[in-house]
Amino acid sequence: MDVADIPSVPEWLPDHLREDGIESLYPPQAEAVENGVTEGENLVAAVPTASGKTLIAALAMLASVERDGTALYIVPLRALASEKQEEFAEFEAYGLDVGVSTGNYESDGGWLAGKDIIVATSEKVDSLVRNDAPWLDDLSCVVTDEVHLVDDGERGPTLEVTLAKLRSLNPDLQTVALSATIGNAEELADWLDAALVDSDWRPIDLKKGVHYGNALHLEDGSQTQISVRQNEDQPAAIVRDTLADDGSTLVFVNSRRNAEAAARRLATTTEAGIDDEERDRLADIAAEIRDVSDTETSEDLAAAVEQGAAFHHAGLARDHRSLVEDAFRNRLVKVVCATPTLAAGVNTPSRRVVVRDWRRYDGSTGGMQPLSVLEVHQMMGRAGRPGRDPYGEAVLVASSHDELDELFDRYVWADPEPVRSKLAAEPALRTHILATVASGFASSRSGLLDFLEGTLYAQQTSGRDRLESVTDDVIAYLERNGFLERDADGLTATNLGHTVSRLYLDPMSAAELLDGLDDATDPTALGLYHLVSRTPDMYELYLRSGDEEEYTMLAYEREEKLLGAAPSEFEERFEDWLSALKTARLLEDWADEVDEDKITDRYGVGPGDIRGKVETAQWLLGAAESLASERQLDVAGAIREARIRAEHGVRAELVELASVRGVGRKRARRLFAAGIETPADLRDADKSTVLAALRGRRKTAENILENAGHRDPSMDGVEPDESVSYDGIGGDDSSAAGGSGEQAEDRQAKSDNQANLGDF
């Protein structure tokens, strides 16, 4: 189909597409148009990666905006939200307004009113529904990317309920769902009352196979020789072969530690494949990586990048991951060793994909379990970039002839599993049932069950017995804890229930917070960090060998600082309580200005894990502050201070100074030691003192002074005050590594690696 023949889209679109080199639509895109995607019809597009799903979404949204509507694009990850906003921002040249929203669950997103296209995560959209965002009534089109993630136990129920609520709010809403090929696409299409485009067409060939011995065995029966040299493993041989053809490689492994180790090994292979210009550019990227955090992880990543290799996992800081992804897309980094997080839709295609590890540890079974076919096919779909690669190859690695046969049967020739709803799990229903009642979608048990009939779970389950049973259990729990009131068949959210729903809390988290705060008089930071860490909304650190004894002793030493009654050592939940204490101590270390590299070393985590824990603690402490106000508890000030200390990673005396944009924890400590203790001091500070405290960094000093409101922030002609000593002023080895007086500096310096922190 020629782009000029696409109906009901803005008149400028065909020329815009031609400028991007698109003269005609791919077959799946043409099929979507023929099924009415530009004329308001519902559609499920189950097509391979790189086959044009984003353009299908854009056609639906632009046609909707052309009809004076508003379009919403739902993504599973924050990183994808930013990526898609950048893609859609090109439409602003034609007068459209594009917005993105991913954070602050308490906001109704009022500023998004008037936007033509809005990009948001499913959790954010759910919170907008709970907070009654007025512009949701104007929605005419919703696109959900990676819709197969309704099968995910963590994110799936939120996406499923959110789609059901949006469709309930506006029965005329156009729903477009995008996915890789899945085993039951027809069932998803039936659920959404949608036409189905189910295609395996790709713009370039994807060849799947298994490497065994010295050969790559492909699904068509052909073989390619890839010999493994004496000093190599199979991935190294494949990477070397790919480099010889000027290609890049993604290597998927099953843990963070394996990703880092594989990148170190493969760096010796990639180093031989980079030229002098690339080496200089990689050195600049490595310097940016080191600037992100002063940690061993950051240094290891920078060292690998200098040689043309990298690793990628959720333990990296967000800026680390962005730098790696950009360098890989630009073909500067030749190989990335990743956990499956990189397969979740982020645009990082490569010539070859190597699935080195097809088993991973499963805590529920206590052993290694095979990955699903859908997950492996998602990884394989990263192979091949239209316009850059002549083909894509996806390779599994076998160590025996029997394994060679098994991998062909299990993955290469297999169809993906059907997607199954995870909504009936009690933790998922707990939060969504309260939100459904609080936001007015149901006001009775029967109305609640009627609403749930619009979910995929109801579509896939014959009879109501299981759903009714779990729903009744959840209603009883919510009523017992004061979140719901019941009168005959009627259900009403209490004021507390409305607050909990608005705060986007799991009701069990709210109950835990209130239980800990009710008897609190002068809560300490550690007590508050421990309180939020033992809620279901915080992913706790694991206890490793030797941890139980250490944290049991710490619990006795700091017993008076902790909130609520402690469980007995003989209770089953005592181990979880200690895990929360370990998590709380990490947060306390951060707020006591302990160096980031010491924290990563002490707890066996990555810089991304620290930031993830800090962000979750900020949100939960903000929620605790609201709940304390709801109950009129006189602890809001202590909670606020603990929250701000966690946000900036500083002790109490630096809270105000660190809040000045651009200052941060280390610079705040240096400025404080130089006699600049408040934003007012900074506003009127001697510039030579500021420049000295900031180690002569003129641009940084100018930006900070400007943000503080200094009357003349320019550093022209200013020299650092030589009387300001750098010694002990929060340098690269930190001023405050010793922690507070409550802490002992001789604590255990290392714990086993936290290789499984939820998101790989």
**pLDDT score of 109 more than 50:** yes
Within 10 A of 559 (CB to CB), how many other CB atoms are there?
9
Is CATH 1.10.357.10 the right assignment for the domain spanning 426-502?
A: no
> What pLDDT shows up at residue 729?
47
Q: Nearest-CA neighbor of 597 among 755, 749, 716?
A: 749
Task: State how far the Cα of 134 lies from the Cα of 150, in Å rounded to an integer.
Answer: 26
Architecture of the domain defined by 206-412: 3-Layer(aba) Sandwich (3.40)
Cα–Cα distance between 400 and 406 in angstroms, integer? 10
At 502 the pLDDT is: 93
261-285 confidence digits (pLDDT tens): 999 999 999 999 999 999 999 999 9
What are 444's strand-pairing partners? 490
- Rounded to 5°, the CA angle 410-412-418 comes to 65
CB atoms near residue 573 (< 10 Å): 10
Helix (H, G, I), strand (E, B) or coil at 546: coil
We find that the CATH architecture of domain 3-198 is 3-Layer(aba) Sandwich (3.40)
Q: How far apart are CA 128 and CA 109, in angstroms?
A: 7
Amino acid 389: pLDDT: 84
- Please give the DSSP secondary-structure letter assigned to residue 345: S
Domain boundaries, the chain: 3-198, 206-412, 426-502, 507-651, 653-735
H or E element at residue 676 = none
Task: Give the model's pLDDT for residue 104.
Answer: 67
Residue length of the chain: 760
- Identify the band that residue 534 occupies on the pLDDT scale cut at 50, 70 and 90: very high
Give the mean pLDDT of the chain.
Answer: 90
Nearest CA among 316, 317, 336 for reference residue 326: 336
> Cβ neighbours of residue 734 under 8 Å, at least 6 residues apart?
593, 594, 595, 598, 666, 669
pLDDT higher than 90, residue 353: yes
* Contacting residues for 498 by C-beta, under 8 A, at least 6 apart: 438
Q: What is the percent of the chain where pLDDT is above 70?
A: 94
Rg, Å, the chain Cα set: 27
DSSP three-state, residue 698: helix
- Between the CA of residue 110 and those of 32, 99, 136, what are the distances in Å? 33, 12, 10
Please give the C-alpha separations between residue 454 and each of 192, 461, 463, 542, 751, in angstroms, as whole numbers.
Answer: 9, 12, 14, 38, 47
Structure tokens at 465: 């017995």
Q: Does 739 or 444 have the greater pLDDT score?
A: 444
pLDDT over 50 (residue 752) = no
CB 396 within 8 A of CB 234: no
Alpha carbon distance, N-terminus to C-terminus of the chain: 42
Reply yes or no on whether the pLDDT at 722 is more than 90.
no
8 Å CB contact between 397 and 391: no
Alpha helices in 356-438, H assignment, sequence order: 373-380, 401-407, 426-438
Distance between CA atoms of 615 and 597, rounded to whole angstroms? Answer: 18
Q: How far apart are CA 323 and CA 314, in angstroms?
A: 14
Tens digit of pLDDT for each residue in 493-527?
999 999 999 999 999 999 999 999 998 888 999 99
3-state secondary structure (DSSP) of residue 639: helix
Instruction: Give the mean pLDDT of 681-685.
Output: 93
Q: Is it the case that residue 730 has pLDDT exceeding 90?
A: no
- Residue for token digits 């779970």? 457
- Domain spanning 507-651, CATH class: mainly alpha
Q: Same fold for the domain at 426-502 and the one at 507-651? A: no
Go through 206-227 and write b for each residue having 16 or more CB atoms within 10 A of its CB, e for each that does not.
Answer: bbbbbbbbebbbbeeeeeeebe
Q: Tell me the three-class secondary structure of 255-274, residue by residue.
A: CHHHHHHHHHHHHHHHHHHC
Per-residue pLDDT band for 726 (boundaries 50, 70, 90) equals: low
State how far the Cα of 618 lies from the Cα of 646, in Å rounded to an integer. 7
Has residue 561 got a pLDDT over 50? yes
Exposed/middle/buried for 391, CB within 10 Å: 0-12, 13-18, 19+?
middle
Tell me the DSSP string of 627-689.
Answer: HHHHTT-TTHHHHHHHHHHHHHT--GGGHHHHTSTTTHHHHHHHHHHTT--SHHHHHT--HHH
The pair of three-digit structure tokens given for residue 669, joined into one six-digit string: 């400590």
Task: Give residue-wise pLDDT tens across range 143-165.
Answer: 999 999 999 888 899 999 999 99
114: how many CB neighbours lie within 10 A of its CB? 11
- Name which residue leads in pLDDT, 425 or 316: 316
Nearest CA among 338, 358, 351, 340 for reference residue 398: 358
What does each C-alpha distance from 307 to 256, 278, 279 come to in angstroms? 20, 10, 8
C-alpha triplet 268, 270, 275: angle, nearest 5°: 120
Residue type, 308: G
Cβ neighbourhood burial of 277 (10 Å; 0-12, 13-18, 19+):
exposed
Task: Quick: pLDDT tens for 390-442.
Answer: 889 999 999 999 999 999 999 999 999 999 999 988 888 999 999 999 999 99
Q: What is the pLDDT of residue 344?
A: 67
Q: Which residues contact 742 (CB under 8 A, 6 or more apart)?
A: 524, 526, 558, 561
pLDDT at 754 over 80: no
Considering only the C-alpha atoms of the chain, give the largest distance between any 2 of them, rounded to a whole number of Å: 79
